Amino acid sequence: MAAPDLNRSGDRLRAADRGLLRALAARAAWPREPGPAWNGPADLAPPLAELLYGVASAGAAADPDAAAQANPVLSAALETLRAGAAERAEAHFEQQRPASQAALENGDREQMDVLLTDLAADLARLDAIRAAAAEDAPLLSDETVGLLWREYVIPWTHRIEIAHLMDPRP
């Protein structure tokens, strides 16, 4: 099997970002409650509450069943983003294999974080999602989208990347 390509994994991550943006825009049509549930490991849970606070009005939906129909789409978008982050982590690992392997063998999460961090890529990702907001989520301001990605989505994907490489899971 070929090593993951960093550019291709970055493209997939940006596509997953747009999918999440569209899911958030659809979910914004409903109040926060009932919100989606996360069924994965608690330590890797996405910032669901923060994302909903950023896009949805307070309170409960008058028709909870209708509101709940938007939740699986949001959950699926988050899962796609999680998978994209894991793929990008593997591509970064392969790009810097000797240093990454040493960090992995030593259990050095901080060093792995340093190796995986690509500020230029994160800034480009932030710019891309803010630009996409006008087309994919016209009712969400680019400031709101920028805040959500800068403060919650990008840090969550970083946690996913580190955990994917450092924490063995069944």
Q: Could you tell me the two tokens for 47? A: 């910032």
Give the residue from 68, 72, 167 showing the smallest Cα distance to 112: 167
What pLDDT, on the 0 to 100 scale, is given for residue 169? 61
Q: How confident is the model at residue 3 (pLDDT cuts 50, 70, 90)?
A: low
What residues does 117 pair with on adjacent strands? none
Q: What is the pTM of this model?
A: 0.91
CB of 92 closer than 8 Å to CB of 116? yes
pLDDT (tens digit, 9 = 90+) per residue, 55-65?
999 988 888 78
Q: How confident is the model at residue 110 (pLDDT cuts 50, 70, 90)?
A: very high
Which residues have CB under 8 Å from 104's CB, separation 6+?
Answer: 93, 112, 165, 166
What pLDDT, on the 0 to 100 scale, is given for residue 132? 95
Euclidean distance between CA atoms 14 and 6, whole angstroms = 12
Q: What DSSP character marks residue 117? A: -
Q: Is the pLDDT of residue 170 over 80?
A: no
What pLDDT, on the 0 to 100 scale, is given for residue 1? 41
Euclidean distance between CA atoms 60 and 98, whole angstroms = 51
pLDDT (tens digit, 9 = 90+) per residue, 63-109?
878 778 889 999 999 999 999 999 999 999 999 999 999 999 999 99
pLDDT (tens digit, 9 = 90+) per residue, 132-162?
999 999 999 989 999 999 999 999 999 999 9
What residue spans of 29-139 are helical by DSSP H? 48-55, 64-68, 71-95, 97-106, 109-116, 119-136
What residues does 88 pair with on adjacent strands? none
